[in-house]
Amino acid sequence: MNIQLSISLLVSDRMETLGKCLASLKPLLRELDSELIAVFTGKNEETLNLLRQYTSQVIPFTWCNDFSKARNVGLKEARGEWFMYLDDDEWFDDTTEIIQFFKSGEYRNYQCAFYVERNYMDLEGKRYYDADVGRMCRLTPETTFVFPIHENLYPFHEPDKKLKAFVHHFGYARKDRENLENTKTSRNLPLLLEMLEKNPKSPQSCMQIAQEYRSIGEYDNAIRYCRRGLEYARKEKRIYNYELWLQVNLPMLISYTGDLELALKEAEQLLVLPRTLEVASAYLCVTLVASCRDLKKYRKGLKYVRLYHEKILYLRKNPDAALRQRAVGVTMDNVAEEEAPVYVEGLFFSTEAGDLESVCEILSWLPWEDESRISPLYPRLEEWKKKYPQIQNEILAGYDRLYTNNLYVCLQKCLHAEKCGEIQKSLNLWTICAESCPPGFQWELIEIAVRNSFSLNPLVSRMSPEVWNEYTTATAKHKETKTLEQFYEKINPLLEKYPFYARKLEQCCLERLLTSELLESARPAVLLEQYCESVLTDAEALYRPEVLAAPETYALPSQYRFAAIVKDALVLFNKGDLTGCIPLLNAAVQVYPRMSVAVSQLLRSLEEQMHSSQRTVPEEFLILGNQVKQVLHDLMEEKQWEEAYGVSAQLVSLLPDDLDVLRMKQEILHHGTPPVRKNW
């Protein structure tokens, strides 16, 4: 009988995580010939009872502030070919890869193995960093743990296997970074400082102390120990993983203090040292690119984008070197995750430097085929394109030279073909994008279609009503009102097969016109009638007649109820029954305050008719005016200055002697108008 794997678990009284830890080990115990050894440092009987459900090997240990001694107790009892160790606040996400490593016999080809420890920095699990940890090795008589804190297995021989399996670890997570009580840092720091006092020239202890200070945001102390650790590490013949960590983190920690010039200087000095290997160089380039961006040193930043690219290419061609050059949270995989963001910064740098040749080159470096890496950067790429309109043709031409199936690039090629007058080519590319539209770019595809009268069917047929409503609302809000009606006239024929979508766009456009424009006296009634007809047509298609007959009873959406009331008001208005019209308009404003400007414009038409016929303005007219004034107050409270301006303009004509209205109008103008800066 042969035990493949001994699993040693160090257990205190952390019941909140122990259950998850043990449950994650169950597949290993079930699928492999393995044993679980629990070294128990706690006092809680409940913890013991839970452990005994999983193993009979529970070894009591009195805690003595020495992790190696505690680990060696479990190691002494191990009988497996291989040994694995972990803590009770860690649990595996999935152990399938580890099980296959042993079941397949692959483990016989290696001396040790790494898996990933995912260290969370907050209790919500949103911020974390991954670190490769060597927690598995072949068990030999010489195997032992060293160091009382941040203990290591020794000896740790090659060849080693890197596994993608990972454990969740919340040991460093907390809500209040200033409160160190009951945290690992409060436990670790005194032990580490004591170790350094015994061995004052230990670069590894300096690194571990710097890590603890970094985790609690004490960057000045972390920087101090980084410098001290590097001083000692440089005197050693070999380059160890702690020196790699210190090189990478020193300029990064300096940048956290806000001293970007010093961070840049420090990173540049480290970069030229012969002891700085390729993974560290790539990390330093990432820090240098960020510093150059913030310091607006674009040409220098472009230099380090290129150097980063060079180092990443070297590491990909030399995977053995990449595998050897790693430390806690410092790996080839981690620094390669910065590839796309670094190259996008390079696009900004090269554009600022006027180096269009580099623009095309860097575009070709981006990982276009890896959607998970490139898609988060689409907004940044759009920002780059829009920031430099003077060279937009050159930017689009750069995209046009790329050989990739990426849909975002396809969209840029479509725009380039349109600008070059190659309409058929633009249509072909547009159709490809429309059939599998990149998220967030449906709107631009619609604009292209409207400009060139392309059929919208391939795109709109795949759009949900929610996405279409979002588009129509944004279109009505952001387009200039002078071009909005022209745009609607162009897009409406393209929506022939989608009447609901066409009416939704029509309603949004009419709302914009009615709530933001000082229209000619005849237009408010005409546009309101068109608006109500469109809204009520939708209502008739969606609701039963008995529902529409009593809208208040069935609590229809406010837009529909508003349209029903205004339709009745317009009938009276067209008959010349102004007195009967006003109470209905009063009720309509209460139902749908958003359209108060439209009602105000209709009131202005009523006022003109009353003055022309020398009739007395009824009291209801003034009541409605005051009600619209309250709507204006609400808009100002919400800082909706553009919409508030439209309401105030109507109220000035409606209540010309109301000083409160005049005062509000001035306040709206003050807040809604950007300051004019003059060069004296």
What is the amino acid identity at position 576? G
Cα dihedral 614, 615, 619, 621 in deg (nearest 10): -70
Q: Residue 177's pLDDT is what?
A: 46
Q: Residue 122's pLDDT is what?
A: 80
pLDDT digits (tens, 9 = 90+) for 364-412: 999 999 999 999 999 999 999 999 999 999 999 999 999 999 999 999 9
Domain covering 179-237, topology = 1.25.40
Q: Which of 41-50, 332-341, 519-528 has the lowest mean pLDDT?
A: 519-528
Which of the four pLDDT bands, split at 50, 70 and 90, describes residue 646? low
* φ/ψ (deg, to 5) at 137: -155, 165
Q: Residue 609's pLDDT is what?
A: 61
Which of the four pLDDT bands, split at 50, 70 and 90, describes residue 480? confident
* pTM above threshold 0.75: no
**CATH architecture assignment, domain 5-169:** Alpha-Beta Complex (3.90)
pLDDT of 170 > 70? The answer is: yes
Q: Find out whether 430 and 454 touch, Cβ atoms under 8 Å.
A: yes
Cα dihedral 585, 588, 590, 596 in deg (nearest 10): -70
The closest of 24, 25, 23 to 7, measured between CA atoms, is: 25
Domain boundaries, the chain: 5-169, 179-237, 464-516, 518-672
Quote the mean pLDDT of the chain. Answer: 87
pLDDT of 599 > 60? The answer is: yes
The set of residues, in sequence order, having a beta carbon less than 8 Å from that of 49 and lying 6+ positions away, is: none
Q: Residue 520's pLDDT is what?
A: 64
DSSP helix/strand/coil, 113:
strand
Which of the four pLDDT bands, split at 50, 70 and 90, describes residue 23? very high
State whether the Cα torsion 488-491-493-499 is positive or negative. negative
Better pLDDT: 607 or 561: 561
Q: Taking residues 635-648, report their average pLDDT.
A: 76
Indicate the angle between helix axes 356-365 and 298-317, nearest 10 degrees.
Answer: 30
Better pLDDT: 668 or 498: 498
Highest mean predicted confidence (pLDDT) among 93-97, 115-119, 673-677: 93-97
Q: Residue 424's pLDDT is what?
A: 97
Q: Find out whether 243 and 233 touch, Cβ atoms under 8 Å.
A: yes
Q: Residue 135's pLDDT is what?
A: 92
Better pLDDT: 549 or 287: 287
* CA 253 to each of CA 120, 210, 257: distance values in angstroms, whole numbers, following the listed order: 19, 10, 7
Q: Residue 673's pLDDT is what?
A: 58
Which of the four pLDDT bands, split at 50, 70 and 90, describes residue 130? confident
Element (DSSP H or E) covering residue 582: helix 578-591
pLDDT of 556 > 90? The answer is: no
C-alpha R_g of the chain: 35
Q: Find out whether 339 and 312 touch, Cβ atoms under 8 Å.
A: yes
Cα separation of 62 and 529, whole Å?
85
Cβ neighbour number for residue 294 with a 10 Å cutoff: 14
Q: Taking residues 34-42, report their average pLDDT.
A: 94
Tell whether omega for the bond before 155 is within 30 degrees of 0, i.e. cis: yes
Q: Residue 633's pLDDT is what?
A: 80
Tell me the sheet residues that pair with 459. none
Q: Which of 176-190, 267-281, 286-300 has the lowest mean pLDDT?
A: 176-190
Which of the four pLDDT bands, split at 50, 70 and 90, describes residue 178? very low
* CA 516 to each of CA 382, 596, 642, 646: distance values in angstroms, whole numbers, following the listed order: 29, 11, 8, 5
Percent of the chain residues topping a pLDDT of 70: 90
pLDDT of 578 > 80? The answer is: no
Q: Taking residues 610-630, report their average pLDDT.
A: 61
Strand segments (E) across 67-111: 82-87, 90-92
pLDDT of 184 > 80? The answer is: no
The two tokens of residue 14 are 């952390």
Q: Which of 54-68, 181-195, 500-514 has the lowest mean pLDDT?
A: 181-195
Cα separation of 475 and 495, whole Å?
15
CA angle centred on 330, ends 324 and 331, rounded to 5°: 50
Which of the four pLDDT bands, split at 50, 70 and 90, describes residue 187? confident
DSSP symbols for 17-34: HHHHHHHHHHHHHHHSSE
Cα separation of 436 and 195, whole Å?
59
Which of the four pLDDT bands, split at 50, 70 and 90, describes residue 661? confident
Exposure string (b/e) for 201-220, b if CB count within 10 Å is 16 or more? Answer: ebbbbbbbbbbbbbbbebbe
Q: Residue 196's pLDDT is what?
A: 87
Cα separation of 662 and 457, whole Å?
50
pLDDT digits (tens, 9 = 90+) for 287-327: 999 999 999 999 999 999 999 999 999 999 999 899 889 88
Better pLDDT: 330 or 440: 330
The set of residues, in sequence order, having a beta carbon less than 8 Å from that of 501 and lying 6+ positions away, is: 460, 465, 468, 495
pLDDT of 618 > 60? The answer is: no
Residue count of the chain? 680
Q: Residue 649's pLDDT is what?
A: 65
The set of residues, in sequence order, having a beta carbon less than 8 Å from that of 210 and lying 6+ positions away, is: 221, 222, 223, 225, 226, 229, 246, 249, 253
Tally of CA atoms within 13 A in the half-sphere of 316 that contains its CB: 9
pLDDT of 655 > 90? The answer is: no
Cα separation of 372 and 376, whole Å?
7
Element (DSSP H or E) covering residue 396: helix 392-400
pLDDT digits (tens, 9 = 90+) for 193-227: 888 888 999 999 999 999 989 988 899 999 999 99
